[in-house]
Every structure is written in structure tokens, then in C-alpha cells.
Amino acid sequence: MSLAPPVTFDAHAPWQLSAEVSLRDEAFGALAYHHGNRRLVFLKSPALVDIVRDLENYHTAADAIGAHVASSQQGAYERALASLARSEIIHGR
Amino acid sequence: MGAEITLRDRFERGLAAPICLTWELTYACNLACTHCLSSSGRRDPNELSTDEATALIDEIAAMKIFYVNIGGGEPMIRRDFFTIVEHAVSRHVGVKFSTNGTRIDAAAARRLASTDYLDIQISIDGADALTSDAVRGAGTYDQARRAMDHLRDANFGPFKISVVMTRHNVGQLDDLAALADAYGAELRLTRLRPSGRGVDVWDALHPTAQQNRDLYRWLLDRPNVLTGDSFFHLSALGEPLEGLNLCGAGRVVCLIDPVGNVYACPFVIHDEFLAGNVRDRGFEAVWTESELFRSLREPGNPGACASCGSYDACRGGCMAAKFFTGLEMTDPDPECVFGHGETALAAKRVEIRPSPSPDHSRRTPVSLSAK
């Protein structure tokens, strides 16, 4: 299994869900599958799923997070998005 | 952002659709491996037609099942194999298929290499012909290696080499990893189950307790070696192995057999684990409504394992391994790392083990030259 290329996640940059990714809603959040690198990733909260789907509508990832969760959770969701960026589920635009 | 254990509990309660759907395309096979978990050999006259197969793919796509694991039998024996695969890819359903490699010549390798979202795993059961052919038949190792050569020459990219672990090949782990590296391939190791014809060879071939401990440590050091969550019963030895570490039967995995029967997992082709048939009301109705699957999604009964401090690590092990060795679902896994399975087996003194319901084994020995 090849390692993902190093991706720096900047929460103050614009991001979007990869066109190669399918999302399937589940009770815990969603499954995300990248058809290119065949990675299956679990989005472990419904709010994270909403944020990921909404990324393209905000100027920055931080704005998208702020629109969906309390500011006290900002850091945790930025870390979750950084992990999704490493798996190529989301990418900069 | 729930803790990992919460997610695992969620999985045990089942998902909207399987994560891992195995679809055996045909019971026909040109080989006769001694451990075949689907007792394959002869085609079943009632196998799904091309139209039924493509309709099933459409339903799989609608359920957002991202990929299917196609097997058999030998799936490439079906004359509509490429039609089915290409239809799946056109519906954005990724395909990973398991093959013995005998039908992958240079032309087939080029066609496979030109298909997107396709993953191939070629089976061998040892790092050399002597070891592998003892299970899979004379000449099969060399045929599989030729298929790998063709895929490499066609620039297919990283395919998978799939090996069922036996007591004769656990000692070859480093050689198998080196072979995969030489092809730029990924190594995938799976557990020998006493399923299908495997019931006849399991006693003689399953790894010893010491070999299982060696395998566990080897896997811990190599998180990139794929296992399909096969060895979660070994996670009771300490640190959990890569994967979900649970029995996914009817919860996150299931099997559709060549005649459309839906079983709880690829290793339990038996009436006891038959959930329904896709020809009746489609696959989704079976997945969501089957009584069997609903019962599997209820919290498990730890049974004899309740007092073991490692139950949370192994969850009692593999349902198929217990069933086909004659154990109860509440017994320990027959390969329990603490030896409780061996004790349970000895206490049962099992004379008759359940045999797989549909047996498509050939009635006469296979000659390799025969197509």
C-alpha cells in the first residue's frame, strides 16, 4: 500500500470533497470511499458529514466548520478534516 | 467524534448496506483446491443470467455499495465475465476479483489493465510450487506466476497476491512478502476456514498455536499486509491487529452465491446461514429484512467466553470456524489463542461435522490440461 503524498491542511484555505469520492450516510455518520486510491474512510459524526458536503460553499474550511458546530469543537473538526485531506477524501480548490 | 469502540459497536448492529459484499459469479472452476470454501467445481445450471447479473449491479450501485469482491469458482470462466465487470465499473461500482490466474494470458492482462477501478487478487498458497500445488493442484503455482508476469508486463499496477495461511506456509511469510515486493504487488493473507471442502483438510492444515502466535507478531510489524480482518481471533494475544476486529457476518459483510442466494458471509455457505435470494425481492430486501441478519445484529452472547478477559479483543472469534468444526456459537473459536477452543473440541468429541449444503465439487479428479 503506497503512502499518501504529504498534504498540508490549511483550515483557512478553500477545500472541497473529491469528485472521486462517494459518500453513504450511516447512523454514525457516513462511509466515504475513494474510487481512485480505494480507501474506505469512516466519517464518525453526522456533523462532520455535513461539513464535508458543505466545504465547497465556503471560502475556508474553518468557515464551513463554524457554520455547523460550536466554536469549542473547531479544533477537533479541523483535525478530522486534516485526516480526510491525507486520505485524499477532500482536497484544496 | 465517537471513540473507536462506539464505531465498532455500531458496526455490530449493522449498516444500511454492506461495506464488503462478496459475489461468487459461478460454481464452475477448472481447479479443485482441497480447501475450497465454496466446494466449487461444476457450474450450477441455475446460476444468474447476464441480465440478472447486470440488474443486481444496478441495485448494488443504488445502495451505494462502493465495490464488490467477485469470486467463484473461477469467475473468469463465465463467458460474460468482462460484460459483468465492465457494467459494474460503468455504474461506479469498483470490482476486486479473485482468480487462480489460469485465464490471464497476455491479451486478458491488457484488457484488465485498461479497465479503471479494477483490482485483482491472484491466489497461491505457498511461496514455491511444492507448497502451493499441494493444496491447489499440480502446475497451479507456475500458472499463477505466469498470470502475475502478464499483469506486470501489461502495467496493470499493484495487484494483490492472496494466500490462505496453512501450517505449511506460515514459515514462508518473508518469502511471500518478497515475492509481492518483486511484482510491486500487495500481499493479502487470509485465514483457513473449515468451510466447504476445507472441512476435510482443516485438521491437517490449520496453523499450530505457535504458528498463529508467530503470524500475529509478523502481522503486527507489517500493517500494510492486507488480511481482510481475517485474523481478529489473534487480537486476543495483545495489541489489536489492523482492521475492525469483529465478525462482520450479516452486519458489514455478506455473500451472494452464483444462484442468487444470500449468506451471512463467504465462509458459511450452508442453509443455517441462508438469509434469502436476490431473485425474490432483490438484494436490499434481504439485507434489511432477513430474520437471520436481524438476529446477527443483536448483541452477541459471549457464552463460554464470558469470563475471559480477552473477549472484547476477539469477540469469541469466527462464526464459520466454530460452526464447521461442530462447535456452538457460544463456544470459543477453535483456534482460540488460549487453547479454550481445543478444549471445547475435545470435549465435544465431534464425529459428524455439518457439511456445506450445496456441493459443486467435481465427481472425478481434475486434469489440468482439461479446460
Supply the ipTM of this predicted assembly: 0.82
Residues A33, A39 contacting (CB under 8 angstroms): yes
- Residues of B with CB below 8 A from A28's CB? 2, 6-7, 10
CA distance B313 to B179: 32
| Residuewise pLDDT in 10s, chain B (371 residues) | 444 556 778 888 889 999 989 999 999 999 999 999 999 999 999 999 999 999 999 999 999 999 999 999 999 999 999 999 999 999 999 999 999 999 999 999 999 999 988 999 999 999 999 999 999 999 999 999 999 999 999 999 999 999 999 999 999 999 999 999 999 999 999 999 999 999 999 999 999 999 999 999 999 999 999 999 999 999 999 999 988 888 999 999 999 999 999 999 999 999 999 999 999 999 999 999 999 999 999 988 899 999 999 998 999 999 999 999 999 999 999 999 999 999 999 888 656 677 667 889 987 665 554 43
CB atoms within 10 A of CB B95: 22
Distance CA B213, CA B211 (A): 5
pLDDT in tens, B336-370: 999 999 999 988 865 667 766 788 998 766 555 44
**Distance to chain A for B186, nearest Cα, Å:** 7
- Name the domain count of chain A: 1
Cell numbers for B67 = 465495490
Decide if A34 is inside a domain.
yes
- Asked if the structure places residue A23 within a domain, the reply is yes
Q: Is A44 exposed, middle or buried (0-12, 13-18, 19+ CB in 10 A)?
A: buried
| Residue A4 located in a structural domain | no
Q: Which domain holds residue A26?
A: 15-92
Would A10 be classed as within a structural domain?
no
B243 touches chain A (CB under 8 A): no
Do the domain assignments include residue A8? no
Q: Which of A22, A24, A44 sits opposite B7 (nearest CB)?
A: A44
Assigned domain for A49 exists: yes
Please list every residue in chain A whose beta carbon sits closer than 8 Å to the beta carbon of residue B16. Answer: 24-27
Taking the C-alpha atoms of residue B109 and residue B151, their distance in angstroms, rounded to an integer, is 5
CB contact under 8 A, A40 and B66: yes
3-state SS, one letter per residue, for B90-123: HCCCEEEEEECCCCCCHHHHHHHHCCCCEEEEEE
C-alpha to C-alpha distances, B14 to B20, B42, B332, nearest whole angstrom: 12, 34, 23
Crossing angle of helices B50-62/B81-90, nearest 10°? 20
Q: Is residue A5 situated within a structural domain?
A: no
C-alpha to C-alpha distances, B146 to B109, B141, B219, nearest whole angstrom? 11, 9, 28
pLDDT tens column, A65-74: 999 999 999 9
In this complex, the residue of A24, A27, A48 whose CB is nearest that of residue B64 is A24
- The verdict on residue A50 lying in a domain is yes
Enumerate the residues of chain B whose CB falls inside 8 A of the CB of residue A74: none
Nearest CA in chain B to A69: B1
